Amino acid sequence: MASSLPAIPAKRYFTIGEVADLCDVKPHVLRYWEQEFVQLKPMKRRGNRRYYQHHEVLMVRRIRELLYEQGFTISGARNRLRELVTGHGKAVEQQPVLVHPAQHLQGEELAQSHLLAAMLEQGLSEPAGAMGMEEVKEELLQIRALLSL
């Protein structure tokens, strides 16, 4: 169950082992999902070591939920993610549009509130911990990239 997963620490990069622990899946499953879901593209550094960013950990949790909790097949989960991102399909049409009450916020707090609203609109879970402005910008760029698929 997604609610029993540990909170995601406020850091920029996660190793495959950390993501496996945070999402309750085995590392070999994560490597397989990278081949099946275009949204999962961890950065690779020396020795082909994978480094996942916060938005990718959220995506792994979403994929896990679709496959393990909602019973989707890989193909079905892939299609469902596409529906969520493009706005096609009944599920998105029935979801309410979230409006975040952010009139009193400014600067970094305003950017963070917009990021949270966008993530929740896309069915992603709320980020844990404090995020700095650079992380907020990174997450917003990733959401925009997902929306343009």
* CATH code at position 30: 1.10.1660.10
More confident residue, 61 or 130: 61
- Number of domains comprising the chain: 1
pLDDT in tens, 101-127: 434 445 555 555 556 656 655 555 545
Residue 93 has a pLDDT of: 40
Domain of 99, in residue numbers: 2-147
Query: What is the band of 136 on the pLDDT scale with cuts at 50, 70, 90?
Result: low
> Residue 72 CA to chain centroid, in angstroms?
18
pLDDT in tens, 66-103: 999 999 999 999 999 888 877 665 544 444 444 334 34
Question: For the chain, what's the residue count?
Answer: 149
Residue 103 has a pLDDT of: 42
Between β-strands 49-53 and 13-15, what pairing exists: parallel, antiparallel or unpaired? Answer: antiparallel
Q: Look at the alpha carbons of 127, 132, 136, 142 in this order and tell me if their dihedral is positive or negative.
A: negative
Q: What is the mean pLDDT of residues 56-64?
A: 94
